[in-house]
Amino acid sequence: MKFICTEDYYHMSRVAANIISAQVIMKPSCVLGLATGSTPLGIYKQLIRWYEKGDLDFSNVTTVNLDEYKSLSPDNDQSYRFFMNENFFNHINISKNKTYVPNGLELNEKKACSDYNSIIQSVHGIDLQLLGIGHNGHIGFNEPGGAFEKETHCVDLAESTIQANARFFSSFDEVPKQAYTMGIKSIMQAKKILVVVSGENKADIVEEAFFGPVTPKVPASILQLHPDTTVIGDKDAFMKVR
Ligand code: F6R
**d(C-alpha 15, C-alpha 96), whole Å:** 26
Ligand 1: nearest atom to the Cα of 67? 7
Predicted local confidence at residue 172, as pLDDT: 85
Contact 177, 72 (CB under 8 A): no
Nearest to 70 by CA among 34, 31, 108, 44: 108
Q: What is the pLDDT of residue 201?
A: 97
Are the CB atoms for 241 and 205 separated by under 8 Å? no
Which class in CATH covers the domain with range 2-211? alpha beta
Name the residue ranges covered by the structural domains of the chain.
2-211
Q: Could you tell me if the CB of 201 is within 6 A of ligand 1? A: no
Q: Which helix (H) or strand (E) holds 234?
A: strand 229-234
Q: Kindly provide the ipTM of the predicted complex, given to two decimals.
A: 0.98
Give the strand order in the sheet containing 62-65: 2-6, 229-234, 192-197, 128-131, 31-34, 62-65, 99-100
What pLDDT is recorded for position 101?
98
In 3D, which of 87, 187, 85 has the Cα closest to residue 130? 187
Ligand 1 pocket test target in 13, 66, 82 with most atoms within 8 Å of CB: 66
Residues in the chain: 242
Cβ distance 154 to 106 under 8 Å?
Answer: no
Q: What is the pTM of this model?
A: 0.95
Question: How would you write the pLDDT of the chain (242 residues) with one tens digit per residue?
Answer: 999 999 999 999 999 999 999 999 999 999 999 999 999 999 999 999 999 999 999 999 999 999 999 989 899 998 999 999 999 999 999 999 999 999 999 999 999 999 999 999 999 999 999 999 999 999 999 999 989 989 999 999 878 778 877 887 888 888 898 999 999 999 999 999 999 999 999 999 999 999 999 999 999 999 999 999 999 999 999 999 87
**Of 70, 4, 14, residue with least CA distance to 41:** 14
Which atom of ligand 1 is least distant from the CA of 138? 9
Q: Is the CB of 67 under 6 A from ligand 1?
A: yes
Q: Is 132 in the pocket of ligand 1 (CB under 6 A)?
A: yes
Question: Amino acid identity of 60?
Answer: N
